Amino acid sequence: MKLIAFYLIFSFLQFSLFAQISPNHYLVNFTDKDNSPYSLEHPEQYLTKRAIDRRIKYNITYDETDLPVNQNYIDSLKALGLEIINVSKWFNSVSVYTKDTLLIDTLDEISFIKSVGLSKKKIQKIQKDLKSANTQIKYEQALDFDSSGYDYYGNGFRQIEMLNAHYLHQAGYRGEGMLVAILDAGFYKVDELAAFDSIRSNNQILGVYDFVDKDTSVYDAATHGMMVLSTIAANIPGEFVGTAPKANFLLLRTEQVASEYIIEEHNWAVAAEYADSLGADIINTSLGYNNFDDTTQSHTYSDMDGNTALISIAADLAAKKGILVVSSAGNEGFSQWKYISAPADADSVLTVGAVTEDENIAFFSSRGPTFDQRIKPDVCAQGMPAIVIAANGTVTASSGTSFSAPIITGALTCLWQAHPELNNIQIMDAIKQSADRYSQPDTIFGYGIPDFYAAHLYLNSMGQIDENTENLLNVFPNPFKNILNIAFYSKNIEIPYNSKLEVFDVQGKKVIDAYVDDVENNYSLMVINNVEKLSKGVYIVRFTAKDVVLQTKVVKL
């Protein structure tokens, strides 16, 4: 009997240990949201007007994940003596604290409790239902900008110039009206440091919350989130200006630096829900998870498929709600792990690697592909080193994809400000298409280093061309750099010799004027070399054959 009793006690302890998401913390998953006082017909009960406006604007439907968790279920757990830590409506779960392992072992006997703990089994993928917004983009001529902005941006000039995001600033887009949520480890002295005077005095911090300590004291925690924020929000002309200094911000702490447990993924999901409910446009997360202090919780590479890690599923859910999620790729490129970590593996997340100021890959930048062989990272930006604000308020340098990601976040905030009629996926696609390796992506650089001003010009030119005839012209690579191939084929349109080929910039100036002589079986291919001297931006290719005029767009990097 003693042996049997010992075995039973050991079994309970083993179950309790595996159920823990950090010491004495557990995840309780509910079966349903029955008898809820909330309904999908009245989202104003649980979402702000800004959040509702975003759903309406991008035609995003409400579903059961939007409904709050059944409060009766939560109250029942409290009555049992469990301390409620965080509540997730997306996953219909709560994280709780208790030292009573016997109580935890009996929870799965309660009718409304589905399970306790996280399952390592693959979770069914959440399908995206993002509908493309109708785009009616105003045509705007390119401005002749002086690219020498060092005196204004200070030491941070190279990291913004690499992306041509300073041109967006000069065009009047600095993030005004956009809401960026930073999910990180703490925002040390953001309420005091001079680098953040601008966002404080202009009331650009719209909300703060600590999902670790359950309070609003985010300014006394780690420096990491402060440094991340500085790459976007710093506004010290002549010393350091970030990539979106006029944006609004939510500062949300989800990471406990002193330890690493899978509860932080749940914290992140709850913070993403909070950001969604307040109408955030963008989430930046410079966090990544693969190894935990409790190694039984650690992810394997096979988990990096976008569908397994709780945080990756949450990131895709945020994207489904219309938020553009940006994630650092991770700093594991030189380690035995080497791959990206969650949530960088999520398919609807823009994953950012790091390069040097000379545009070489940083040795630490995590590699792809995902386990299911998708291209990751998506793009790269400067991260070795990046210019940031130090804990003492000085401008300094630090390295990591933690900083290349928010540099991209600020730039895309300005791009989306310029094109608010587009949804998150359309903006993300435009960024990838502007990158210098778009034609030949790999698992180190992804699609490469994006050109945000080229993306802006390209989006401005949308709708100017008859898309019904565009497929008759094949212009590649697009974007192009040193060579441009222009092919035409049609069974229905005869191509006479001396057909005309013209290329115009967005101001209407003709930059290439040629005749097509090599025609066989109504097929023509022209190879135009030495185009590297053309300025970066969008060009219109026009092909004239008899009475037919065909046009298409192409981007020069």
Cα–Cα separations (whole angstroms), residue 492 to 249, 395, 495, 498, 519: 55, 63, 10, 18, 15
3-state secondary structure of 17: helix
Segment 132-161, tens digit of pLDDT:
332 222 222 233 333 346 789 999 999 999
Which pLDDT value is given to residue 122? 37
Q: Where are the domains of the chain?
A: 2-116, 156-461, 467-556
Segment 22-57, tens digit of pLDDT:
899 999 999 999 988 999 999 999 999 999 999 999
Strand 379-384 versus strand 349-356 pairing type: parallel
Q: How far apart are alpha carbons 493 and 544 in whole angstroms?
A: 11
Q: Please give the class, per CATH, of domain 467-556.
A: mainly beta
Residue 307 carries which DSSP code?
A: T
Tokens of 331: 């700093």
Q: How far apart are alpha carbons 118 and 115 in whole angstroms?
A: 8
CATH code of 156-461, in short, is 3.40.50.200
How many Å is the Cα radius of gyration of the chain? 26
Q: How far apart are alpha carbons 291 and 298 in whole angstroms?
A: 5
Nearest alpha carbon to residue 492 among 551, 541, 546, 553:
546
Phi, psi (rounded to 5 degrees) for 168: -65, -40
Segment 492-528, tens digit of pLDDT:
556 666 678 888 887 678 888 887 765 555 566 778 8
Those residues with Cβ within 8 angstroms of residue 367's Cβ, 6 or more apart along the chain or in another chain: 333, 338, 339, 340, 443, 444
Q: What's the predicted TM-score (pTM) here?
A: 0.80
Q: For 47-71, what is the HEC assignment?
A: CCHHHHHHHHHCCCCCCHHHCCCCH
Amino acid (1-letter code) at residue 317 = L
> Do the Cβ atoms of 463 and 421 come closer than 8 Å?
no
Segment 254-265, tens digit of pLDDT:
999 889 999 999
438 pLDDT more than 90: no
